[in-house]
Chains A and B, each alone.
Chain A
Amino acid sequence: MELFNTHGGKSADAPKQSSNNLRPIMKNLAAKLAIPQLPKSAMFWTGIGILLFFIVVAVLGPLFIHGDPNAFSNESLAAPSLQHLLGTTLTGQDVFSQLVIGTKLTLLSGFVAGIIATTLSVIMGLVSGYLGGWADDILSLITNIFLVIPGAPLAIVLSSYVPNTSVWPIVIIVGLTNWAWGARVLRSQTLTMRDRDFIQASKLGGENNFRIIFFDIMPNLIAIVASSFIFTTIYAILTEIGLAFLGLGNILAVSWGNMLYWAQNSGTLLSAWWWFLPPGLCVALLGSSLAFINFGLDTIVNPKLSIVKPKKRGKKAAE
């Protein structure tokens, strides 16, 4: 939700910015163009650190886990020990192995849904903002309709018809139902870019629309695209876990959502904390790491939002 309102506020403000004075814009533009110039906030780097940790676990973890994480054993609900770092499930599966192996599917499905939604929102937003006219009217209408039709219930209805043999239908459904807000934000940003001098120059230079949209405009909006991607990824991960909890995913795949589903359905929540606690904490950590990265990206898009500089507001009024 943070993304929603950030940009809701920003887009209303953007046209005014251009008329005020040029220096902040140039600085802002430079910040957006120069990729190495990343935010300095501790929150941003904490987020990056946690995310990298999970990516490393997802990539390298399987090398250290031997055997099938779903394999049953006779040790039902064993407490954590050296042999089973996080204990075992009701059917004697090793919780630690499941947690490590499940990282990959959870991350991957979140990112894939994020990529689908972001791609759609970039195409719809930039094209409708740049072209204007009737193309804009039609694309905006589609975007706004997708915005008001409730995505989460739609995802549940759709997934109730899809056979639960794989996780990917859910991922695609989540991606297809969550692009509209990003498209709207990008469209309003594109509108403020359209008449800038460098775009006009490209136009006069005979560049085609495709090149102008994706090579001239998009690099300037990369921070917004990134923050919209991250927001969708968080939402996708939480939605997929919610759907898994309702038993709508492929319950045999190894993912954090399915671990929670089985833990909850086994009726052992109260006794076997080592089964239920770790996947939920991992989701919370991963989700907040992404949200922290988004805070950082927001301050690139709009430096006013920084928490670094303390203000002396109110003193003036008191004097």
Chain B
Amino acid sequence: MKYFIRRIFFYVIALWTAVTLNFIIPRLAPGNPVQTLVGRSQGRIDPRAISALELQFGINTKIPEWQQYFSYLGDLLHGKLGLSFEYYPTPVSTVIVSHVFWTMGLIGVASVLSFVLGTLLGVISAWKQGSVFDRIVPPALTFLSSIPYFYLALFFLYFLGFKLGWFPIIGAYSFTADTSQFSLSLLFDVLNHAILPALTIVLVSLAGWMVGMRNAMLNTLSEDYVLMAEAKGLSNWRVMTIYAARNAILPNITGFALSLGFVVGGSIIMESVFSYPGIGFLLFQAVQNSDYPLIQGIFLVIALSVLAANFFADIMYLILDPRVRY
């Protein structure tokens, strides 16, 4: 329980840091983001949007910084993230909510798939240490994960999507699909659109899980309790899964939660390649249009969800590893 309270305390501080960073960054930025924005829009910007933006970033105002900070915190508590410039006058929170589920669904499923598959491959690789499999698969997958992600994705897009026409190449569902109500054909359409992006994510991230699991597994395989299990004449399968792999997987679970931040970061590139209407694509467009309120809001949402994932992993750890409970 003490562990649990300490973790909650930690996440509160981490959350506060993320929120504060979000407040400080636009104010530390060189130049004046609002001026940049006005310049880039060539005067086609609503004056009310300018004043709202100046208020949000503390430009041309006499309100002291600390007071701005507290009103910012207050706004956050009410879920107010400001107004998007690109979609003016839609609130940032509304824009984000309409995109966030696509990313969560796709990234969530692809990450879990990659984790499970990579861990399995790692178990096999460690169990058969020095075999042909162990010599070939880890370096091959490492090569795959060293290719810049968008490069690999464009290849898949070109060959499997464009040349062979097996998969749709753009968006999360067909333009012609009826999205007003749920139907089985819509579900298939959405799944069909998700295969290619998911496949590329899995391929690129597989190596990390595999090598991590292999290394952790090799450590547990040399433990005495594994030798003991073998000596007792337990079946290979039982020794491999219940004795070695079960203990080796623990560090990988923390790694999984921590990696989500990287995966969401990577989703920005994935979604811009596939024009997938998720939060990454939104961030990409926001960055291109210098839509600063939207950029800030998206960062906050990403940071929040990564913190939540880590908290969840801590709870999982608590359940799986009795040692932390005491």
Contacts and interface: CB of A to CB of B under 8 A. Distances in A.
Nearest to B155: A280
For chain A, what secondary structure do more than half of its interface residues adopt (helix, strand, loop), or is it mixed? Answer: helix
Interface in B232-250: 233-236, 239, 248, 250
Given A158-B25, A163-B31, A313 B127 contact: yes
Contact of B303 (A4, A153, A156, A245): A153
A149 B17 contact: yes
Contacts of A284: 143, 146-148, 151
A163 B29 CA distance: 9
Interface string A2-22: 101110111011000000000
Interface string A276-319: 00001001111110111001001000101101111101101110
A204 interface: no
A153 B235 contact: no
Given A1-B211, A284-B147, A308-B130, A145 B14 contact: yes
A242 interface: yes
A253 interface: no
A148 B307 contact: yes
A151 B261 contact: yes
A242 B129 contact: no
A313 B131 CA distance: 11
Given A9-B248, A246-B287, A304 B142 contact: no
B299 interface: yes
Contacts of A6: 211-212, 215-216
B278 interface: no
Interface in B1-31: 10-11, 13-14, 17-18, 21, 25-26, 29-31
Interface in B201-215: 205, 207-209, 211-215
A284 B17 CA distance: 35
A150 interface: yes
Contacts of A280: 147-148, 151
B8 to A, nearest CB: 13
Nearest to B216: A9
Interface string A216-251: 000000000000000000100010011001111000
A153 B299 contact: yes
B272 A160 contact: no
Nearest to B11: A148
A288 B129 contact: no
Max chain A CB contacts within 10 Å: which of B215, B260, B290? Answer: B215
B58 interface: no
Interface in B123-148: 127, 129-131, 134-135, 138-139, 142-143, 145-148
B128 to A, nearest CB: 8
A270 interface: yes
A82 interface: no
A309 B129 contact: yes
B252 A8 contact: yes
B230 A246 contact: no
A177 to B, nearest CB: 10
A154 interface: yes
A38 interface: no
Nearest to B310: A148
B234 A317 contact: yes
Contacts of B272: 246
B182 to A, nearest CB: 31
A181 B17 CA distance: 18
A290 B25 CA distance: 33
A302 B151 CA distance: 34
A163 B30 contact: yes
A309 B306 CA distance: 40
Contacts of A95: none
A309 B290 CA distance: 55
Contacts of A318: 236
Contact of B255 (A5, A156, A247, A309): A5
Interface residues of A, number: 69
Nearest to B162: A270
A65 interface: no
B268 interface: yes
A152 interface: yes
B74 interface: no
B269 interface: yes
A25 interface: no
B158 A269 contact: yes
A161 B33 contact: yes
Nearest to B286: A160
Contacts of B181: none
Nearest to A256: B148
Contacts of B306: 148-150
B251 A304 contact: no
Interface in B168-219: 205, 207-209, 211-216, 218-219
B295 interface: yes
B83 interface: no
A202 interface: no
27 contacts: A1-B145, A1-B211, A4-B212, A5-B216, A6-B216, A9-B212, A141-B13, A149-B261, A150-B261, A150-B302, A150-B303, A151-B262, A152-B261, A152-B265, A153-B261, A153-B298, A157-B299, A242-B149, A242-B268, A260-B151, A280-B147, A283-B148, A285-B146, A291-B145, A304-B218, A307-B135, A309-B129
Given A4-B212, A148-B261, A269-B158, 10 more contacts: A1-B205, A8-B251, A148-B14, A156-B283, A246-B268, A257-B148, A270-B158, A284-B151, A287-B146, A288-B142
Top 5 closest A-B pairs, CB basis?
A: A152-B265, A5-B212, A1-B208, A287-B146, A150-B261
